[in-house]
Amino acid sequence: MAKVRKAVLPVAGLGTRVLPATKVTPKEMLPVFDRPALQYVIDEARAAGIEHFVFVTGRNKSAIEDYFDQAFELEAMLERAGKTETLKELQTHVPVAGACSFVRQQSPLGLGHAVWCARDIIGDEPFAVLLPDMIMVSDPPCMAQLTAAHARTGGNLISVEQVPREDVSKYGVVDVGEFTDGQAPVRGLVEKPKVEDAPSNLVISGRYILEPEIFDLLERQQAGAGGEIQLTDAMATLIDTRPFHAVEFTGRTYDTGSKLGYLKAFMALALESESHGADAARLIRDAARDL
């Protein structure tokens, strides 16, 4: 089975649900406790053995490119100041030279279009997609679960999780067969259905492994839900062509794409910090008590 080496990170979104915070700062660069949201997602991809990151960007996103580069002045200053721990940490966050590619989506035509923009860099091999709004916490990490499943079955894979029935219209919803060892064959996929039309309350949670033939489908894909070219619609046409599995994710998912989701992610990741978690818990309790 071909190894999954490359990942697509669609980071062109304008973050309108988090304005004004995202007016000049890319939403993916907003700090979630002590690091940008995107750092958690890149760490998850690296833990799954991903070696090359394709960022599908847009205007006002140059901070992402700078973040995944060396910061010579800063590093020299930390060295001079003897802050070797901080320096080491900073350096571990930078992928090796040549491991990041950046392509522009140019127009916000939808997630399917964003993924299609990465086609030339991905080439003819299976690849991962990680939606950076979603920070997913588990051991092993979500993408590592997907790459392990891909090594067993090949084909297309998505992570899915249960949400309350009334929330399904915000997501891609799956119709699946029986689960065996946390994995089930996908029978149908629909993007943002009405609650009464949804085949289940299992939704696509933002991690995918896709075979490269998706690119031909995306090239011809008509606009779907919300007038956008949907990745879900292209995936739906792949179901009968080769294995397509859903892997149920049982860890914690934080959606940083809305104000309250961002707040929850920030608090949760602070609480999970080994060095600051206990103090963070005290601060959060105090802050709530003072209201």
Residue 126 or 206: the one with the smaller Cβ distance to ligand G1P is: 206
Q: Cis ω on the peptide bond leading into residue 31 (within 30° of 0)? A: no
Indicate which single residue of 126, 132, 155, 206 sits in contact with ligand G1P (rule: CB under 6 A).
Answer: 206
Indicate which single residue of 191, 211, 261, 262 sits in contact with ligand G1P (rule: CB under 6 A).
Answer: 191
CA angle, corner 272, sides to 269 and 274, nearest 5? 125
Matching residue, tokens 């489908």:
217
Return the residues of window 127-146 that contact ligand G1P according to CB under 6 A.
131, 134
Which of these segments, 78-86, 216-224, 228-236, 240-248, binds ligand G1P (CB under 6 A)?
228-236
Indicate which single residue of 33, 53, 171, 254 sits in contact with ligand G1P (rule: CB under 6 A).
Answer: 171
Tokens of 92: 């571990």
Quote the strand ranges of the chain, DSSP E. 6-10, 31-32, 35-36, 52-57, 100-104, 127-130, 134-137, 156-162, 172-176, 183-191, 202-210, 244-248, 252-255
Interaction mask 84-123, ligand G1P, x per CB under 6 A: ---------------------------x------------
Question: How many C-beta neighbours within 10 Å does residue 2 have?
Answer: 13
Question: How many C-beta neighbours within 10 Å does residue 187 have?
Answer: 14
Indicate which single residue of 132, 172, 224, 261 sits in contact with ligand G1P (rule: CB under 6 A).
Answer: 172
**Minimum distance from residue 18 beta carbon to ligand G1P (Å):** 13
Question: Is position 28 an interface residue for ligand G1P (rule: CB under 6 A)?
Answer: no
Question: Is position 204 an interface residue for ligand G1P (rule: CB under 6 A)?
Answer: yes
List alpha helices for 135-204, DSSP H.
142-153
Residue closest to 142 by CA, chosen among 156, 157, 127: 157
Which of these segments, 48-56, 136-144, 230-238, 276-284, binds ligand G1P (CB under 6 A)?
230-238
Residue 203 or 269: the one with the smaller Cβ distance to ligand G1P is: 203
Residue 144 or 168: the one with the smaller Cβ distance to ligand G1P is: 168
Question: Is position 155 an interface residue for ligand G1P (rule: CB under 6 A)?
Answer: no
Q: How far apart are CA 73 and CA 216, in angstroms?
A: 44
CA quadruple 94, 48, 39, 10: dihedral positive or negative?
positive
Residue 111 or 246: the one with the smaller Cβ distance to ligand G1P is: 111
Question: Is position 232 an interface residue for ligand G1P (rule: CB under 6 A)?
Answer: yes
Say if residues 46 and 92 touch (Cβ distance below 8 Å): no
- The site for ligand G1P (CB under 6 A) is made up of 111, 131, 134, 171-172, 191, 203-206, 230-232
